[in-house]
C-alpha cells in the first residue's frame, strides 16, 4: 500500500512539474470536457430527449476542451507573470480581467473548434454564436467570479487548470446542453417558414 502511495506522489509531482504541466493541463481539459458531455447526454437519454449516446458529439466536445486547455494553461501563466502576488485587490483585478477578456475568448474557442469539426460555414458558426453566446457568458458570470477568487488567492499556478476544470465539470454539462441545443435555431427556422408562407399567399392574391 505504501508503495502505491509513493508511486502516486511521484506521478503527481512529475505530472505537475514545469516540464509536463502543459500536457497535464490539456489532458485534464480533454477528459473533463468529455465527461461533462457524457453526463449531459445520459441525462438527455434518461429524459428521452435522445435515444443513444452520440460518441461523435463527445469527441467534438473533448477536442474543444483541448483548445481551451491550451489557452487556459498559457493564460494563467501570463496572468501570474503580469500580476504577481495575492493581495485581495490584485486578486479582484485578476478576476475582473479574467471575466472580461478570457471568458469571451474561451467561449469563442468552443464555437470555433466545434464549427471546424462539424465543417460548419463561417455564417453558420456566427449565427450559432449569436444565438448562444449570451447564455454561456451569463452563466460564466454566475459561476466563475467566486471560483476564481479562490483560484487566484489560494492556489499555486500549477494547480489552476486542474481546479478550473474540476469546478467547470458542472459548467461543462451546461455548456454541452447549450452548444447542442437546437431549439433556438428550430424556432428561427419556423419563424422564417411562417414568414415565407405569408409572402407566398400574398403573391398568389
Cβ-based burial of 184 (10 A; exposed 0-12, middle 13-18, buried ≥19): middle
State pTM to two decimals: 0.79
CA 173/CA 44 separation, integer angstroms: 11
Radius of gyration of the chain, Cα coordinates, nearest whole angstrom: 21
Given this model, what pLDDT does residue 171 score? 74
Supply the pLDDT for residue 22: 94
The 8-class DSSP code of residue 157 comes to G
Q: Running along the chain, 205 residues long, what does each successive block of 10 average in pLDDT?
A: 81 90 94 89 88 92 93 95 94 96 93 90 89 88 93 94 87 75 54 45 38
CB 129 within 8 A of CB 108: yes
Residue ranges per structural domain of the chain = 18-183
Q: Is 203 exposed, middle or buried (0-12, 13-18, 19+ CB in 10 A)?
A: exposed
- Cα angle value 30/33/34 (rounded, 5°): 85
Contact 61, 39 (CB under 8 A): no
Of the candidates 43, 64, 36, 68, the one whose C-alpha atom is nearest the C-alpha of residue 173 is 36
49 CB neighbour count, 10 Å cutoff: 10
Q: Are 64 and 136 in contact (CB under 8 A)?
A: no
Amino acid at each position: 500500500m505504501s508503495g502505491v502511495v509513493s508511486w502516486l506522489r511521484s506521478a503527481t509531482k512529475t505530472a505537475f512539474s514545469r516540464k509536463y504541466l502543459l500536457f497535464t493541463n490539456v489532458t485534464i481539459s480533454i477528459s473533463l470536457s468529455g465527461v461533462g458531455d457524457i453526463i449531459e447526454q445520459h441525462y438527455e437519454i434518461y429524459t428521452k430527449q435522445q435515444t443513444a449516446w452520440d460518441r461523435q458529439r463527445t469527441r467534438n466536445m473533448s477536442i474543444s476542451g483541448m483548445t481551451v486547455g491550451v489557452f487556459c494553461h498559457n493564460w494563467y501563466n501570463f496572468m501570474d507573470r503580469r500580476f504577481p502576488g495575492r493581495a485581495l485587490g490584485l486578486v479582484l483585478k485578476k478576476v475582473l480581467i479574467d471575466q472580461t477578456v478570457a471568458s469571451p475568448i474561451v467561449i469563442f474557442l468552443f464555437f470555433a473548434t466545434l464549427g471546424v469539426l462539424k465543417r460548419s460555414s463561417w455564417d453558420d458558426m456566427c449565427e450559432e454564436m449569436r444565438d448562444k453566446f449570451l447564455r454561456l457568458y451569463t452563466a460564466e458570470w454566475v459561476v466563475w467570479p467566486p471560483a476564481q477568487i479562490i483560484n487566484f488567492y489560494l492556489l499555486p499556478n500549477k494547480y489552476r487548470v486542474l481546479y478550473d476544470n474540476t469546478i467547470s465539470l458542472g459548467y461543462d454539462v451546461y455548456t454541452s446542453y447549450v452548444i447542442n441545443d437546437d431549439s433556438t435555431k428550430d424556432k428561427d427556422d419556423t419563424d422564417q417558414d411562417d414568414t415565407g408562407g405569408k409572402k407566398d399567399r400574398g403573391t398568389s392574391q
